[in-house]
Amino acid sequence: SQTIHQWPATLVQPVGSPLSLECTVEGTSNPNLYWYRQAAGRGLQLLFYSVGIGQISSEVPQNLSASRPQDRQFILSSKKLLLSDSGFYLCAWNTGVGGELFFGEGSRLTVL
């Protein structure tokens, strides 16, 4: 069966510090991978998605970046965090056209 792991679950970082959130999927190959951000009480904002290794589409220009070094690994990074980067980050995957999204448990980031 397929599983998705996302970590860390909780992160408190000072402004200006770097960020690395990691997501891995098991039990499938060549998944589409997604990073979303969810602000408190609001919907999901798509940040990045990837349809293959090294292929990253950015939906929101900001100080975040994403990488896909391996088929089932998706990393969200920042060199210098801003206060506005605080939020709940969700990694997700699907198998392609029409496939449902499967979500990780999320990472709560607080930037102080």
Q: Binding residues for other proteins, per CB under 8 A?
A: 32, 34, 41-44, 46, 49, 51, 59, 88, 90, 92, 96-98, 100-106
| 8 prior amide bond cis, ω within 30 | yes
Q: Which is nearer to other proteins, 14 or 100 (CB)?
A: 100
The tokens for 14 are 């000072």
Separation CA 37–CA 49 (nearest Å) = 12
Q: Which residues, listed in sequence order, are joined to residue 94 by a DSSP beta bridge?
A: 32
Q: Which is nearer to other proteins, 14 or 98 (CB)?
A: 98
Work out how close the CB of 53 gets to other proteins at its nearest, in angstroms, rounded to a whole number: 15
